[in-house]
A = this chain, B = another copy of it.
C-alpha cells in the first residue's frame, strides 16, 4: 500500500471541486459565471503585440504596466495594487500571509466554497458564520475572537448574488482585530463597491477578477487593492513571475476599455432581469442579484433532478447543496437566447409530474 508523505491536513481534505468545464463544444454553459460575450477587441490586439515581440523573456514580476493602467482607471496609487494569476491566487496569497497553522479564519456561509479549502490547505481552523435568511450578516460576523487572523467576505456573495452595503463593511472592519478581504469578483455587475474603504482602514482589502465582467476567465488575471505596507508584505508570498506576459498585456488593454465594460454590463443586467422574472414565473424563489448569476430555490420541487435533466439536454447550470442550509440552482446570466432556452426547458421540467 503506497504512502503519500503529504501533511495530514492535505490527506484528510476532499479538495475543491471547480465547476464542470466540458472541453467539447455544444453546451449552453451557465454554471461558472463566465461572460457570454467575447472580451474587448483591444485584448486580442494587445496579446498579438506580445506574440510579435516574443515570449522568450520573463515577464515583469510586478506587472507594472497593468498597475499603472489600473491606477488611472480606479483612482488608487499603483503601489496599492497587487496582480495575480486570477483572483483565486489573491485569496491564496492573503491566506498564506496572514494565517498560521492552527489559527482562525472567518467565512460567511453559504458562500464561495474555496475559502474553507484554503484554510484546510494552510492547516488553519475556520469558522463559518451563517447569513441570516434575508442574506444580511449577524453581529457575530464582526466579533473580535482570539486567534482570528483573516475574514473573507464575497461581496456580491455567491450563490446569492446579494451584497453587504459598504457602510456595514466599514463597521465590520472597525470591530475586527484582523484584515477583511472583500472579494469583489462580481462587483462590476453591482450598484456599489468597497474600493473607497481601503484608504480609510488598512484592514480592508479588495480583490477583483477579470474572469467575469471582462470576459477573460481563460486568461487568469485578478488583482488586490490594499494599503502599500500590506502589498509590500504580500509580494514576498507570491511566486516571482505569477502573471505571464500575455495576461498582463490582455488585462491592461481590458481595464483601459471602460466603454466596452459599460456596454457589456448593460446587456448582462438586462438579461439578468429577464432571468429573474422568468424563474419567478416558474415558481422559483429567486433573490434579487447584484452579480451575473441568480440563485434559485424551489418551495415544492427538488431541484437536483432538474439540474441533471438540464445537463442531459446539454444545458449546464450549477447545482449547489450547502449542508445545514439547503440546495438550489445557480444560473449564470448568459445571452438572451441562452437564457430563453434554459427557461423553456425549466418550464417543461417544472410542469412535468414529479417522480412517482
Of B7, B98, B244, B250, which one neighbours A5 at CB under 8 angstroms? B98
Q: Which range holds the interface residue count of chain A?
A: 35 or more
Of B23, B89, B101, which one neighbours A60 at CB under 8 angstroms? B23
Is B60 touching A39 in the complex (CB atoms < 8 A)?
A: no
Q: Interface 1/0s, chain A 199-221, versus B by CB < 8 A?
A: 00011000000010001111110
Give chain A interface residues in 3-44, CB to chain B under 8 Å. 3-7, 9-11, 13-16, 18-19, 21, 23, 29, 32, 34-39, 43-44
Q: How far is the CB of A16 from chain B (nearest CB, A)?
A: 6
Give chain A interface residues in 247-300, CB to chain B under 8 Å. 247, 250
Q: In the complex, what residues of B have CB within 8 A of residue A139's CB? A: none
Interface, chain A (partner B; CB < 8 A): 2-7, 9-11, 13-16, 18-19, 21, 23, 29, 32, 34-39, 43-44, 47-48, 50-51, 54-61, 64-65, 85-86, 88-89, 92, 96-101, 114, 117, 121, 123, 149, 178-179, 202-203, 211, 215-220, 227, 229-230, 232-237, 239-247, 250
Q: In the complex, what residues of B have CB within 8 A of residue A18's CB? A: 58, 61, 240-241
Q: List 26 A-B contacts (CB under 8 A).
A: A5-B149, A6-B97, A6-B98, A7-B97, A7-B100, A7-B149, A18-B241, A21-B59, A23-B64, A34-B56, A38-B54, A38-B55, A39-B54, A54-B218, A55-B216, A55-B217, A55-B219, A55-B250, A85-B244, A88-B240, A117-B236, A218-B244, A218-B246, A219-B246, A220-B241, A244-B246
